[in-house]
Structure 1
Amino acid sequence: MYKRILVPTDGSDVTSKAVDTAIGLARALGAQLETLSVKEPFPYSAMSEIQPIAPQEYFEAQEQIAQRRVQKVVDVCRAAGLECAALTLEAVHPWEAIIEHAKAGACDLIVMASHGRRGMRALLLGSETQRVLVHSTVPVLVVR
């Protein structure tokens, strides 16, 4: 059924529920697991020559944060007796990077967490999970 499962992580506590679900599915189906963390690009403003942080410092900090996020997932998978490939990508819109990677990496299921926001909070804050659901051609399992 599913051979490659992608579990994007933003480092939130809610993501752990998605990881646990993905581990259970991978075990039951004999599928491979993969995790992904999306880094934000440097918020460069062409209007200003003064930057609060040097670009290289920003890139290094973003990479460290993303590496910690994916390593946390890899460690949980390893403790459960499963291997998990990990990578980090940079993108303006995380949902686009998730979908593009799922297609390019031949993933046939995306398991994502949802914060369960409703009403105005959902409208104002948006949801990467919602955007993946709307735009993905790869099946998406949402865990709450």
Structure 2
Amino acid sequence: MYKKILVPHAGTSAGDLALKHAIHIAKSSESEIILLHVLEDFPHVPVLSLHSSQAAKLKREFAQITKDMKQVMEDEMSKRALMCQKHGIKSSLKVVTGLAAEEILKIIKNQKMDLVVMAKRRKLKGIKSLLSLGSVSRKIVENTSCPVLMIDAEKK
């Protein structure tokens, strides 16, 4: 039923919990898991307030930091992909830069995902807890026709 399962993962224990659920589903449906981590963009360099050489230096430094962060997250996500392989599940990983919800929606559409399994971590009480999703979760649920399984990382 589900051939391609997307697991957006922030490198947290909540993401690991979502991955465990995705692995369970993938075992029974012979699915492939695609792990996705989105690095947020750095703000643009305020070039008008800096000398051109300072602005260029700052841009280079931001680019290097982004490159380093991407490598760190690729290493972290590789560990999660290995978990999938240990369970006999085909997996791949993507580390991209941008706005989380937008990048997740692009992958869902472009890769024709059959299911998204992601964690939510809201700690609200009362009626708000029933109505609340984080901004990324909400955007995903509201803007895709693909089924989305939300794993509550706060429930024990």
TM-score by length of 1: 0.84
32-41 or 67-76, which moves further after superposition? 67-76
Q: 1:110 aligns with which of 116, 124, 142?
A: 116
Q: Deviations over 1:42-80 (max 9, x none)?
A: 322324435497123222122123313321320211222
Is residue 60 of structure 1 aligned with residue 67 of structure 2? yes
Number of aligned residue pairs: 140
1:137 and 1:30 map into 2 onto residues whose CA distance is: 22
CA distance in 1, matches of 2:12, 2:22: 16
Q: Which residue of 1 aligns with 2:37?
A: 37
CA distance in 2, matches of 1:72, 1:110: 20
Cα separation, partners in 2 of 1:116 and 1:72, compared to 1, 3 Å: farther
One-letter code of the match for 1:110? V
Rg bigger for which structure? 2
Letter in 2 for 1:59: T
Whether 1:100 aligns to 2:110 is no
2:148 paired with 1:140: yes
The answer as to 2:6 corresponding to 1:6 is yes
Q: Percent identity of the aligned residues?
A: 25
Is residue 4–residue 109 contact of structure 1 (8 Å, CA) maintained in 2? Answer: yes
| RMSD over aligned Cα atoms | 2.4
Name the CA distance, whole Å, in 1 between partners of 2:77 and 2:139.
21
- Distance change in 2, residues 1:48/1:81 (3 Å): farther
Does 2:8 match 1:22? no
In 2, Cα distance between equivalents of 1:132 and 1:114: 12
Secondary structure of 2:42's partner?
Answer: coil
CA distance 1:82–1:48, change in 2 (3 Å): farther
Q: TM-score, normalised by structure 2?
A: 0.78
